[in-house]
Structures are given as C-alpha cells and as structure tokens.
Amino acid sequence: MKKTWSKAAGLLISALFALGLLLLPNLFLQPFPLNINDKYLAWIVSPGRFFVETPGGLLRTNPDLVGLDNGEDSFSKVKAPGVFRIFCVGGSTTRGWPFQHSLSYPLLMSRYLASALPGRKVEVINAGFLASDSYSDLPLVRELAAYSPDLLLVYEGRNDAWNFTLHSGLLCVALKAHVWLARNLRLYGLLLKLVPRGGAFEHAGQIRKLAFAASGVRNEYGGAFKENIEKIGVAAGKCPVLFLTQVIYPGVPGFEQEAVRSNGHLRELAAEKKIKLLDIDKVFAGFPQPLDVLIPPPLVHPNVGGYCLLAYTVSGSLKREGLIFPARDWRKLEPWPVCRDSVSSSRAALGDTLLRLADLFGQFGDASAAARYRAEAENQTLYSPFSRVRLPF
C-alpha cells in the first residue's frame, strides 16, 4: 500500500514538474496571437465570448470576430424600458455576406419594423458570424440569454454539414487541443511561429475539402444537428425562438443537398412540435425562375434583392404570428421603399463589394461569374424582388 502511494505521488510530482516547465516560458515570453487559420478554427470548435463589455455599459462584438471579417455590432448591456430586443443568430447569410459591412437582413428588418411600428422601440442585433454552426451557436445563445432578449431568430443548417467533421472523432479532439495550447502555452505559440506552416488558406474551401474527404461521416450530422437545435431552444430560456429554413439554390451541387437535408431536419422538429419554424425556403421557391435573380451562382448567399425579400418575409411573419406587439400597432408593411432607400444609401459600398467579388472569381478562374459581378457593379441597377412575388403581408 505504501509503495502504491509512493508511486502515485511520484507520478503526480513528475506531472506537475512537466507542467511547470511548459508554463515557465509564460513568465517571459510575449503572447503570440493566433494566425487567421487558427482563429477560424478556434471560433468553430472552441469559441470564447462573442460580445465583450466596454466602458459605458456597451457590449461590442469580440475584436477577434471583427478581425475575421464579421461586422461590428454594439448594444447596451442593460435593455432600456419599453424596448423589444431581437437577436438574429446564424452564419454568413445572417451576417449579410458579401455585403456584411453595409447591408444584411437584420439591418433591413430593423428598418422594416421601424417603418411599420412607429412609436414602438424595436432593437435588432446581428449575432450572425461567418462559418458558424449549431455547435458554436449553442454557447452564443447561452450568452445572449443574459442580455434580456425578447426573441431569437435562428438561420441554421448548411454549415453544420460542412463543419461536422470538425466536431466529431479524433479530428475534433486534436483541434481542441491545438486551440487550447495555442491560447494558453506561449512556448507552443513560439513553436507555431518558428515552424513554417504555409500561407493563410481560403477558409470555406478548406472546410469543404475536409467535408468531402469524410463524406461518410458528414452524412451522420443530422442527429447531432437536431439535438443541437433542441438545445438552442432550451438555452434561450423563456425567450421565444423562431427557426428559419435555409434558401436553396438548385444550381450549386452539394450545397443544395445539404440545405435540403437540414431543412428536412428542421421540418421534422417542427412537425413534432419541438420548435417553431418559419419556412423561408418556400417563399423563395415561389419566385418565378430563374432563381439566380435572387441567389446568383456560383454562390449560395442572396444578393441585395434576395436580402430585401428575406428581411421583408421575416418581418411580415413576426406580424402574422403575433410574435411582436399586437396587430393593431402595425402599419402596412411597405416592401419596396425600405429596400430602395437602404440600397441607395449604401450604393457605393455595395458597388465596391461587387467589384471585389469580380476580382476574386477572376483569381479563381471563373470568368463567367467575374463578368457577371463586374457588370452588376457597373450597372448598379437594383432588381425589385417584390414585383414578381405574391406578397402575403
């Protein structure tokens, strides 16, 4: 018995000594910031706080997330009396990519609601982050629950299929260990800096490569996705959560399949009365072909007109479902003026974004997409998505 205790004590002392050697460089080495690749991985597999408090009681988007090309949002930690606070949760479509610094569906929705609810105070906060999924959005919702939300809107699904390999098996364990070491051990950070690791990769493309390499595993994401969706509903506490189906564009192989699957999982949960669902995809499916007017190939994100239709549809659904103020407080939703005025005020920024997209696709060798975006930037003609859609609100 004495030998056993001596052996255990020896192992413990050895472990503490080894840990001390690893932590010792933290006393004299400066912190090494994560490179762009590791920051992306960190926020997917091991996110930190999404909003940080600043002097004056304001909460702002974590600077690390802003540095990953997410826009910066801010709001008061203490909600003002009479304010109805809405958080929009999701990935790049919620963020408004590629127009995230000038336009998004949460921004447009805030303007629709301000126009339709004069005298009421509605606060719409964009809590969508590029490449996020239900795994990373679950801790986000837990954080948001402390900020007095009145409604959560969640646009989730496609990224879960692509990111699932990062959340399962040995790869997940290895990535979490790598992120922890990079954040906490400066010696590890020094080694990462000294060892050549290549240039920054195009994040979305690398995730797709991992997903395709493990397609058999990716097909298993549905159960975990549904479980996370239910957990998000629980994490929100007493705050209502409205889940949105994702818009499907039939011209992008792979993306269509994953969106169809995730939408199917959401509809199953809604049929089982486990979640409340707004079927956005059905609105876009009712749009006369070609659908690429609203979701231009080879992307899976709406264009300006598509974001306007998305914001209008969500706003009208809030009215129809009675989720925000009684019907008597609402004026008629005017779809086109809000969209037109919002785009007019951001025309220069939107044009610059389209030109950058044209250059990007030119670098990728997609001459057709490059020409399309360049022409759209030069013409700067906004197509009204409302002239050919039967509007229900």
Amino acid at residue number 33: P
Give the whole-angstrom CA distance, residue 90 versus residue 279: 15
Domain boundaries along the sequence of the chain: 36-333
Percent of the chain with pLDDT over 70: 76
pLDDT tens string 127-160: 999 989 999 999 999 999 999 999 999 999 888 8
| The predicted structure's pLDDT at residue 309 | 87
The DSSP output letter for 209 is H
Task: Supply the pLDDT for residue 222.
Answer: 85
Element (H, E) at 58: strand 58-61
**pLDDT score recorded for residue 315:** 93
Query: Per the CATH hierarchy, to which homologous superfamily does domain 36-333 belong?
Result: SGNH hydrolase (3.40.50.1110)
Q: What parts of the chain have a pLDDT lower than 70?
A: 1-29, 31-32, 195-219, 249-256, 287-299, 380-393
End-to-end CA distance of the chain: 78
Predicted confidence at residue 200, as pLDDT, reads 47
Report how far residue 128's alpha carbon sits from residue 106's, in angstroms, rounded to the nearest whole number: 9
Q: How does pLDDT run across 164-221, given as a tens digit for each residue?
A: 888 887 777 887 888 888 887 777 777 777 766 555 444 445 555 555 555 555 567 8
Give the closest residue to 316 by CA, choosing from 340, 268, 341, 283: 283
pLDDT of residue 178: 80
pTM: 0.85
pLDDT value of residue 362 = 80
DSSP-based three-state secondary structure for 312 = helix
Give the pLDDT confidence score for residue 204 in this predicted structure: 46
CA quadruple 252, 279, 233, 73: dihedral, nearest 10: 70
